Amino acid sequence: MTTPSLGQIIYEQLWREAAAAFDRGAVSLDAFLENRQSDKRRGVTLLARPDAEVLARVNSFLDEIRAVAPEQHFYQPSEFHMTVLSVIPGSESWQQAAQRLPDYLAALETVLKNARTFSVAFRGITASPEAIMVQGFPAANALAQLRDDLRATLAARWLGENLDRRYKIATAHLTVTRFCTPMKDWRPLKSLLEKNRDRDFGTTCFQSLQLIEGDWYMSTDSVRVLREFPLGNES
Query: What is the per-residue pLDDT across 169-188, written as a single tens digit (0 to 9) for each?
Result: 889 999 999 999 999 999 99
pLDDT of residue 104: 93
pTM: 0.94
Going by pLDDT thresholds of 50, 70 and 90, the confidence category of residue 2 is low
Question: Has residue 168 got a pLDDT over 90?
Answer: no
Q: Answer with the residue of higher pLDDT: 75 or 216.
A: 75
What is the pLDDT confidence band of residue 223, given thresholds at 50, 70 and 90? Answer: very high
Whether residue 74 has pLDDT greater than 90: yes
Q: Cα separation of 79 and 82, whole Å?
A: 10
Q: Which CATH architecture has domain 6-34+42-230?
A: Alpha-Beta Complex (3.90)
When pLDDT is averaged across residues 189-202 and rounded to a whole number, the result is 98
Rounded to whole angstroms, the Cα distance separating 177 from 173 reads 12
Q: Please report, as a single letter, which amino acid is at residue 13.
A: Q
